[in-house]
Amino acid sequence: MVEGVETAQQQNVTVLDYLIVLRKRRRFIIGMTSAAIVATAVVSLLLPRVFRAEARILPNQQNSSGVTAQLLSQLGGLGVAPGMVGMKTTNDLYIGLIKGRTILDRMVDRFKLLAVYDVKYREDARRDLLKALKIQDGKKSGIITIGVEDRDPQRSADMANAVVEELKNVTQSLALSEASQRRLFFEEQLKGVKESLTRSEEALKGYQEQTGAIEIKEQAKVAIEAVARLRAQIAAKEVELKVLKTQTTPRNPDRQRVEEELRGMQEQLAKLQGRTGASSEALMPTGKMPAAGTGAVRKLRDLKYNESLYELLTKQYELAKIDEARDAALIQVLDKALPPEKKVKPNRRVMIATAAFTSLFFAILGAFFLEYRERFMGDPVNREKLQQLKKGA
């Protein structure tokens, strides 16, 4: 009967009962909370100050999808972060490059971070640097904010600016490679054509000196120049198609266009020559010309061909140089990082507020636990059970 009354009393606990416990244990709660606040304040004063410097950049938004695909196709030799797989925007690509091993290693060497972070291995230095990097991607504005946290405000600014510099170096070397290869290809072709042009000039000059001055009829000269010019255009178009084949698929519209243009030129050349074979004879049959004139025609034809081919390749070479220079500026620096005046860590207000609420919560739990323990030990039946438990042990 007595146990039933006690159980009923325990079930009729009200908010007033909780308030009574809190008032009774107020010294414990206040003491525990105050101790935690003081300890947190002392720790926050002892922690080193950390500063964050930020630089803001704007990646090139023109032809961003093409640039992204071009860069992604050339990242095999770089240690990029695993998260780069599946990236869809240029900003995602650049953030992945920043977190990649190539730029991180350059930063470790540039600022001697093994000594700064007091670590032995480069992997540890890269890990600490990644923790110090605070990168924000402005989805709407397209602006990337690169922050670096460090105990030295000047070093934090220098490191943030250095990350931007290293990113520009990496992206330029990647983006320029295709344009550079195209330029170098045309440059090599020009060297060969220039040598052929020189040989043709010398051959024509030597032939005329050997046989005497030969005057070619205007009709034959025009026909020779037309055929030579068309052959040069075909050769230049073949070079252009060769470049496209190394960079595109057969379904690429530019490649299909060039192939169609090449077929049209070849058909036109066949008509001009008056036959479908691979002969390079001009409109006027060479059998109707004197032997000396025929030799001069052939020498002049070779000369005109090399002149036209050299002119066409020179134009494509200049276009490749323009593309190379145009692709260089992929990143614009909006704001350079400056040494910060205020620290970002430790945030004493946040630390103390967090400690206060956390300690208050656990102090209240502790107060109820102490009250429960006191009541439990005050019950003779429970004390007797504890004694039996100790004897059994």
Q: Looking at residue 108, which CATH number applies to its domain?
A: 3.30.1890
Confidence of residue 159 (pLDDT cuts 50, 70, 90): very high
Task: State residue 72's pLDDT score.
Answer: 46
Whether 218 and 355 map to the same domain: the answer is: no
Q: What number is the average pLDDT over the span 139-143?
A: 82
Distance CA 326, CA 315 (A): 17
Place of tokens 């695909």: 69
Position 154 confidence tier, pLDDT thresholds 50, 70, 90: very high
Does residue 310 sit in the same domain as residue 187? yes
* Domain that residue 7 falls in: 2-46+347-392
How many CB atoms neighbour CB 255 within 10 A?
Answer: 18
Average pLDDT over residues 334-349: 84
Calpha distance 327→179 (Å, rounded): 8
Q: Are residues 335 and 225 in the same domain?
A: no
359 and 320 belong to one structural domain:
no
For the chain, what is the domain count? Answer: 3
- Does the structure show a pLDDT above 90 at 127? yes
Least confident stretch, 25-34, 145-154, 196-205? 196-205
Domain final residue, candidates 326, 358, 377: 326
For residues 216 and 199, membership in a common domain is answered with yes
- 315 and 184 inside one domain: yes
- pLDDT, tens only, 210-229: 665 455 555 556 666 777 77
CA torsion sign for 218, 221, 222, 223 is positive
Tell me, yes or no, whether 28 and 61 share the same domain: no
- The whole-number average pLDDT for the span 340-355 is 83
Q: What pLDDT, on the 0 to 100 scale, is given for residue 288? A: 41
Q: Specify whether 86 is located in the same domain as 153.
A: yes
Burial of 189 (0-12, 13-18, 19+ CB in 10 A): buried
Do 112 and 82 reside in the same domain of the chain?
yes
Q: How many CA atoms lie within 13 A of 377 on its CB side?
A: 5
Instruction: Give yes or no for residue 85 having a pLDDT over 90.
Output: no
Q: Among 62-71, 149-158, 270-279, name the one with the lowest average pLDDT.
A: 62-71
Q: Under 8 Å CB-to-CB from 315, ≥6 apart: which residues?
A: none
pLDDT at residue 11 tops 60: no
Q: Is the pLDDT of residue 384 over 70?
A: yes
| Greater model confidence, 203 or 167 | 167
Cα dihedral 180, 182, 183, 184, rounded to 10, equals: 80
Mean pLDDT on 366-375: 84
Q: What is the pLDDT of residue 5?
A: 43
Same domain, 237 and 223: yes
Helix or strand holding residue 30 (H, E): helix 26-46
Contact 91, 70 (CB under 8 A): no
Question: In terms of pLDDT, which residue wins out, 75 or 242?
Answer: 242
Tokens of 154: 């000047």
* Pick from 137, 112, 67: nearest CA to 327: 67
72 within 8 A of 171, measured Cβ to Cβ: no
| Residue 26 shares a structural domain with residue 98 | no
Residue 93 near residue 84 (C-beta atoms within 8 A):
yes
* pTM > 0.95: no
The label of the residue with tokens 């650049």 reads 94
Tens digit of pLDDT for each residue in 239-292? 777 777 776 777 777 778 888 888 888 888 777 765 434 444 444 444 444 554
pLDDT at 83: 44
Supply the mean pLDDT for the chain.
75
Q: Which helix (H) or strand (E) holds 283?
A: none
Specify whether 117 is located in the same domain as 35. no
